[in-house]
Amino acid sequence: MAFASRHLLGLEGISAEELLYVVDTAESFKEISERDIKKVPALRGKTVVSLFYEASTRTRMSFEIAAKRLSADFVSLSASVSSASKGETLLDTARNIAAMRPDCLVVRHGAAGAAFFLAERLDCPIVNAGDGSHEHPTQALLDLLTIREHVGRLSNLKVAIIGDVLHSRVARSNLHALRTFGAEVRLVGPPTFLPPEARNWGHVCYNLAEGVRDVDVIIMLRIQRERQGLNFFPSVEEYARLFCLNRAALAGASPKVVVLHPGPINRGIEIASDVADGPYSVVMHQVTNGVAVRMAILFLLVNRAPIAAETEEAADMPRLRRSAG
Ligand code: NCD
């Protein structure tokens, strides 16, 4: 099972009920960030460690703010300053961290499956904060919360996911979650960015104007140049001319459409400033919601009953409820 009771590794195979449970929990936590004193004692005495082998602004900081708003201690380690630079393996680094008894380990790594690998070997809840091109579950969960707030529902949406689908973990986690809620998904981009299996995920479309027509939600993806070993398009200028989402490209879209982007944004390449900063954009709401979603995930995974204490009856409950113990 992709989402064991102790970990958040990916959204593949997670039921609509469980996804809604996380989104509802996150929604209930949003109000804490609006208070004058932004702290509750829910995770007092607990320690959350983050281990990031890739660059991050939003995700790492958002986990830290989330942990601190729940009164957990937060310790963060970047691979660039860790003993990874002296040749230590991921597993050895993680084992040493686990030996210090954290209550949760948040991991970002360039290799798909890194979080699964650690979850199988360490006695500590693991949260996947992005593993290569595979999954980025907390990003898709914050996207769900943002979409529900701005569109009013999660069921049966028409969604366009635009850009570098091939390399995007954000696209994969969103596809799993949105399709669980019955979304009709359009995958839009040049053929080199749409893997052959994309046809099983949704309607493949090579034209931007056609791709955005009549959709409720547009999810823009960053061009993941760090993951592109080959030339996937002739030039950035040509890509921007054909696929950069600007106001003109949105002309045929629904006036109620909402535009998401996980950040970091490449202005003028995949998204123009007039859209990124315009009335359809909910990008800053995504960032705000990221804190609430990570508070929910840390709360649900850390504040749980010990496995040994679980009864047979508890084992039958939905996994997230059981985690909430
Ligand atoms: C995403 C990531 O790192 O996967 N960013 C993020 O977490 N906000 C998307 C990206 O880097 O393109």
Closest ligand 1 atom to residue 130 Cα is: 4
Segment 74-87, tens digit of pLDDT: 999 988 777 887 88
Q: How far is the CA of 45 from the centre of ligand 1 (A)?
A: 30
Pocket residues for ligand 1 (CB within 6 Å)? 58-59, 130, 136, 139, 169-170, 222, 224, 262-263
Q: For ligand 1, pick from 109, 139, 143, 146 the residue to mutate: most ligand atoms within 8 Å of CB.
A: 139
Considering 60, 136, 167, 169, which one is annotated as catalytic?
A: 136
Residue 82: per-residue pLDDT: 78
Segment 7-24, tens digit of pLDDT: 999 999 999 999 999 999
- CB environment 132-163: b (16+ within 10 A), e (fewer): bbbbbbbbbbbbbbbbbebbeebeebbbbbbb
- On the question of pLDDT at 56 being above 50, the answer is yes
136 is known as an active-site residue: yes
Query: Which domains are present in the chain?
Result: 16-135+286-306 (3.40.50.1370), 137-285 (3.40.50.1370)
Segment 29-41, tens digit of pLDDT: 999 999 999 999 9
Share of the chain above pLDDT 70, in %: 90
Considering 6, 7, 59, 222, which one is annotated as catalytic?
A: 59
Residue 229: per-residue pLDDT: 59
What pLDDT band is residue 309 in, cutting at 50, 70 and 90? very low
Q: Give the Cα separation of 195 and 233 in Å (integer).
A: 14
Residue 81: per-residue pLDDT: 74
Considering 6, 7, 46, 108, which one is annotated as catalytic?
A: 108
- What is the pLDDT averaged over residues 88-105? 95
Q: Give the Cα separation of 156 and 95 in Å (integer).
A: 43
- What is the pLDDT averaged over residues 52-60? 94
58 is known as an active-site residue: yes
Segment 129-166, tens digit of pLDDT: 999 999 999 999 999 999 999 999 999 999 999 999 99
86 is known as an active-site residue: yes
Q: For ligand 1, pick from 11, 170, 220, 221 the residue to mutate: most ligand atoms within 8 Å of CB.
A: 170
Segment 204-250, tens digit of pLDDT: 999 999 999 999 999 999 987 776 655 777 788 999 999 999 999 99
108 is known as an active-site residue: yes
- Residue 190 near residue 166 (C-beta atoms within 8 A): no
Q: What are phi and psi of 273, to 5 degrees?
A: -60, -35
Long-range contacts made by residues 115-121, C-beta under 8 angstroms, separation at least 24?
Answer: 115/7, 115/9, 115/10, 116/9, 116/10, 117/90, 117/91, 118/90, 118/91, 118/94, 119/4, 119/6, 119/7, 119/9, 121/91, 121/94, 121/95
CB-CB neighbours of 288 under 10 Å:
16
CB-CB neighbours of 303 under 10 Å:
16
- What is the pLDDT averaged over residues 180-205? 95
Contacts of 65 by beta carbon, 8 Å cutoff, 6+ apart: 291, 294
